[in-house]
Amino acid sequence: MAEKLPMLALSPTMEQGIIVKWTKNEGDNVNEGDVLCEVETDKAVMEYSTTLDGTLLKIIKPEGDGASVGETIAIIGESGEDIASLIAETQSEGEAVSAAPATASEPTTATTAAPAAVATPPAAPTGKVKSSPMARKLAKKNNIDITRVSGTGPNGRIVVADIEAAVNQGIQSIASAPGQTLSAPELDEVVIPVSMQRKVIAERLAESKYSSPHFYLKITSAVDKIIAARHDLNKAQGHKISFNAFMMKFVAQCLKRHPMINASWMEASIVQHGRIDIGLAVALEDGLITPIVRNCESKGILQIDSELKALIKKAFDKKLQPQDYLNSTFCISNLGSFGIDDFTAIINPPNAAILAIGKVTKTPVVGPNDEIDIQSLMKMTLSCDHRVIDGAQGANFMNDLKNCLEFPVQSLL
């Protein structure tokens, strides 16, 4: 008997998913555990495995379409089975399905080859081009002018298959076409749909900002010895070690001595964590994510660096799993590489604090005997949840971190 296949919650915070790619076609036999499609959640692109056996009779949600958790994305049953009533049910639920009769042999937009893309430049667009987030990302990656592509999705929406067809035909950006000179484009008002990831970020940070009483502690530290140590380690290892790996290690050592900074507010209690799991804020195209290096207190800089690089790669590939980014005990946000001197960061729940790191700047410093010395200085700001951390506790942590960075042997004491 045919059954509707619902969108599942593939991550703890997922409310909606976007179908990135169907790995099965209508008419294919599927078994429990088979991967049917790839779904973009609020955090990553994840595989959707079916819990049903049978034939994929109908794809309800084509590539590029979104579906809320519980919403029907496909119908599975026995080959040749009449599923008209099930399709009617999905239509009554407000889902976008094809009006054509549904049979196992009938192709859908998502499973047919995309028609040839328009090869001649169109007139200047007068509104926003309808396209899926993954299609826009793929177009940008391949330098494709998305306004020159015909959409085969619902209501002419451009989907991944359309961009892939344009790539095969070699349609490049108008700006890169030889012999063409374009005047500066006029500024248009653009309405950008909020991605699931951006929506979750907004909700969590707004909740943090307005429910956690933030206060901020700023300090400046000389990091010449850390820079020298990193230079020597890079030379010895034959590759670059991330500065963030050094910071995570020294922060972990200080958190061991200041456990209240490594804590969480639980309404009826405060939990001082028995582990130091540090998340690093990573900027993606459509938002932030904080991959976590676990148990930093018991790992060396090289191991932290290796794990951190692997996590960052997974983040950019949208392959992070929930265990890679959930339940940190402390977070670091570093905008130094973006040229930012200093800034304040919003606490990432359930953490009680986050450390914001600015760029390293060579600065003249007046010594104890009025001599002038050039030092590499870095500004840091600790955002604290006042429900958990008092001013003196935060200040002691920051001074300890400063001493560790200026006198690295301090972290061994």
Residue 67 has what pLDDT? 86
Residue 184 has what pLDDT? 52
Length of the chain in terms of residues written: 413
Cα 8–350–258 angle (5° rounding)? 150
Residue 154 has what pLDDT? 59
| pLDDT surpasses 70 at 155 | no
Sequence letter at residue 20: V
Tell me the CATH number of domain 3-109, given options 2.40.50.100, 3.20.20.140, 2.40.30.10, 3.60.20.10.
Answer: 2.40.50.100
- Closest Cα partner for 126 from 191, 192, 188, 193? 188
- CA 181 – CA 392 distance, rounded (Å): 62
Neighbours of 386 (CB within 10 A): 14
Query: Where is 364: in which H helix or E strand?
Result: strand 353-366
DSSP state of 253: H
Contact assessment for residue 404 and residue 255, using Cβ atoms and an 8 Å cutoff: no
**What pLDDT, in 10s, does the model give residues 321-351?**
889 999 999 999 999 999 999 999 999 999 9
Q: Which CATH number does 113-193 carry?
A: 4.10.320.10
Given pLDDT bands bounded at 50, 70 and 90, which one contains residue 91? confident
Contact assessment for residue 140 and residue 129, using Cβ atoms and an 8 Å cutoff: no
Residue 65 annotated to the active site: no
Residue 118 has what pLDDT? 38
Average pLDDT in the chain: 83
| 3 state SS for 171-217 | CCCHHHCCCCCCCCCCCCCCCCCCCHHHHHHHHHHHHHHHHCCEEEE
- Closest Cα partner for 104 from 208, 2, 7? 2
Domain with CATH 3.30.559.10 in the chain: 196-412
User: How is residue 64 written in tokens?
Assistant: 């590029």
From the number of C-beta atoms within 10 Å of its C-beta (0-12, 13-18, 19+), residue 318 rates as: buried
Given pLDDT bands bounded at 50, 70 and 90, which one contains residue 287? confident
pTM: 0.64
Q: Tokens 């003249």, residue?
A: 364
Domain with CATH 4.10.320.10 in the chain: 113-193
Residue 390 annotated to the active site: yes
Section 15-32 average pLDDT = 89
DSSP state of 130: P
Neighbours of 362 (CB within 10 A): 10
Given pLDDT bands bounded at 50, 70 and 90, which one contains residue 242? very high
Helix locations, 70-149, DSSP H: 84-92, 133-141
| pLDDT surpasses 90 at 374 | yes
- CA 81 – CA 178 distance, rounded (Å): 54
Catalytic residue among 53, 317, 341, 390: 390
Tell me the CATH number of domain 196-412, given options 3.90.1150.10, 3.40.50.300, 3.30.559.10, 3.30.1490.100.
Answer: 3.30.559.10
φ, ψ of residue 147 to 5 degrees: the values are -75, -10
107-111, 196-200, 333-337, 374-378: least confidently modelled range? 107-111
Cis-peptide, bond into residue 350, ω within 30° of zero: yes
Given pLDDT bands bounded at 50, 70 and 90, which one contains residue 113? very low
Report the largest interatomic distance among the alpha carbons of the chain, rounded to a whole angstrom.
91
Catalytic residue among 28, 224, 342, 386: 386
